[in-house]
Amino acid sequence: MKPTTYYPLPSFKAPFFLFLAFSLCITHQAFASPMEDYYMQKRQHMIRLIEQDVHETSQYLDTEALDEKVLKAISTVPRHKFVRPDTIEDAYKNHPLPIGYGQTISQPYIVAIMTDLLKLSTDDKVLEVGTGSGYQAAVLSELVKQVYSIEIITPLGEQAKSRFKTIGYKNITTKIGDGYYGWLEHAPYDAIIVTAAASHIPHALIEQLKAGGRMMIPVGSNFMTQQLLLITKTIDGELQTQQILPVRFVPLTGEH
Ligand code: SAH
């Protein structure tokens, strides 16, 4: 009878599992990497489109180029993971897209200039009103310490929250509610960004903005031209309002 050979377990199993892990890595890379490269290239192209638009609107923005940090954040966030599957091929085009419930993910150029004009620092705490797809919050989260984002439409808010978890954004906290009243619990904020058009500047948001803080908000009705405003609260608590450029946003809804 043929004698049974026993292999000492560690020396047999360890190389086998190493080989398995290595093969899985290779297989994973073979599938994941080309897609990631594809989207990375699309993001780079989108950045060039944003830069072109910035150049063409430089008289409104008072600058020829956006902060490198903002461009880096935009070139990092996988915008294709924030759009509906049927619009994924359009994710990196420089225009807004429908996200359901009559709402839209903003045009990349608008996300870029609003983020840039906030002049954010790494230690900042930012409030966003209108989570929507979650894309703007993700861009902010690349640049600051903590983002708080409020959404009034429950399914959109919940979807964005689960996206943040899946993609791995740990510094975004969300809630469902009416952002017209801000989020008092975490106030004051270094910066506030409102991504839906308000008929006027909500008082609570002014109250919850730090002295020295900046707020971006589109103001105007749904039927008329809205103006994107940059509001700065001075160290003495005074407000300075700067009209940036005409825009078109979905309306800020709620009971107010
Ligand atoms: N920042 C979003 C843009 C979403 S569009 C993104 O990156 O995708 C504006 C969003 O504001 C919509 O989802 C809309 O439901 C939400 N919204 C409108 N009024 C609101 C309110 N009062 N409070 C909170 N969210 C509001």
- What are the CA-CA distances from residue 86 to residues 33, 89, 246 (Å)? 22, 8, 30
Q: In the prediction, which pLDDT does 1 show?
A: 46
Q: In the prediction, which pLDDT does 185 show?
A: 98
Question: What spacing in Å lies between the alpha carbon of 154 and ligand 1's midpoint?
Answer: 11
pTM tops 0.85: yes
Q: Is 106 a catalytic residue?
A: yes
Q: Using one digit for the tens of pLDDT, what is the confidence trace for 167-218?
A: 999 999 999 999 999 999 999 999 999 999 999 999 999 999 999 999 999 9
Q: Ligand 1 within 6 A of 253 CB?
A: yes
Question: What spacing in Å lies between the alpha carbon of 123 and ligand 1's midpoint?
Answer: 25
CATH 3.40.50.150 fits 32-247, yes or no: yes
**Of 11, 106, 133, 141, which one is the catalytic site residue?**
106
Q: In the prediction, which pLDDT does 90 show?
A: 97
Higher pLDDT, 6 or 147: 147
Q: Ligand 1 within 6 A of 104 CB?
A: yes
Q: In the prediction, which pLDDT does 14 show?
A: 54
Q: For residue 82, what pLDDT band results from cuts at 50, 70 and 90?
A: very high
Q: Ligand 1 within 6 A of 216 CB?
A: no
Mean pLDDT of 133-159: 98
Q: In the prediction, which pLDDT does 12 show?
A: 47
Q: In the prediction, which pLDDT does 221 show?
A: 85
Residue of 95, 128, 131 to test ligand 1 pocket, by largest number of atoms within 8 Å of CB: 131
Mean pLDDT of 75-95: 97
So where are the chain's domains? 32-247
Q: Ligand 1 within 6 A of 78 CB?
A: no
- What are the CA-CA distances from residue 61 to residues 15, 46, 81, 159, 231 (Å)? 60, 19, 29, 33, 14
Question: What spacing in Å lies between the alpha carbon of 4 and ligand 1's midpoint?
Answer: 70
